[in-house]
Amino acid sequence: MRVRRALMRRWRAPALLAAFALLAFGVPVSGVLAQAKPPPSTFGQVVGNAVLCIDQIDNKAFYAYLLTAFGPAYKHEGGAYWFRTDATLWGAPVTDVIVSDDTSPLVFMGVVADATPEKLEPAIRSASGLRFNKLDNSAFPVRVSMPGSKIVYFRSKAKVYCAKYKPLPPARTR
């Protein structure tokens, strides 16, 4: 028992000192100590089909899926939970996955891809067969597919998302 306590004391002090040193330099300890999880093998089908409006969107089910796959959301703003990923969709790295909370009248799911919409659109077309039409001839046009998914600029990256109105709750009968 004494040996175990001695080992614990020896380990605890250097670990705490290292954590305090990282905090002193502004490095978040949780990010250093947490290891990034690889995306699940079903990521492309589950998230990719939802984002392209091919599957139904159930924000509670997708939140649970993303929570299990990537851990807790790193931010909650704009009516959405934001999850960091190290996944790829359509050959482009995906940095964030967004799923709506219940404050919005819409249910939506989206991804932020580390590519421009001009490069991402042909990749999606070759992988899924979906065509996107530009809504205008502006410098940053919104691209829309027949099922309703959109590709928009998100700073220098592309955001692909599907947004639908929430279904009405079942009518009450007396």
Q: Is residue 104 included in any domain, yes or no?
A: yes
Percent of the chain clearing pLDDT 70 (strictly above): 76
Comparing 167 with 46, the larger pLDDT belongs to 46
Residue 157 has pLDDT above 50, yes or no: yes
Q: Is residue 25 included in any domain, yes or no?
A: no
Residue 154 has pLDDT above 50, yes or no: yes
Please report the pLDDT score of residue 33 as a whole number: 39
Q: Is residue 157 included in any domain, yes or no?
A: yes
Q: Is residue 64 included in any domain, yes or no?
A: yes
Please provide the average confidence, as pLDDT, over all residues in the chain: 79
Q: Binning pLDDT at 50, 70 and 90, where does residue 7 land? A: very low
Q: Is residue 8 included in any domain, yes or no?
A: no
Q: Is residue 7 included in any domain, yes or no?
A: no
Give the predicted TM-score (pTM) of the model.
0.71
Q: Is residue 98 included in any domain, yes or no?
A: yes
Range of the domain at 51: 42-165
Percent of the chain clearing pLDDT 90 (strictly above): 38
Exposed, middle or buried: residue 173 (CB in 10 Å: 0-12, 13-18, 19+)? Answer: exposed
Comparing 19 with 104, the larger pLDDT belongs to 104
Number of domains the chain contains? 1
Please report the pLDDT score of residue 173 as a whole number: 67
User: Could you tell me if 40 and 69 are in contact, meaning their C-beta atoms sit under 8 angstroms apart?
Assistant: yes
Q: Binning pLDDT at 50, 70 and 90, where does residue 106 land? A: confident
User: Could you tell me if 121 and 130 are in contact, meaning their C-beta atoms sit under 8 angstroms apart?
Assistant: no
Q: Is residue 145 included in any domain, yes or no?
A: yes
Please report the pLDDT score of residue 108 as a whole number: 92
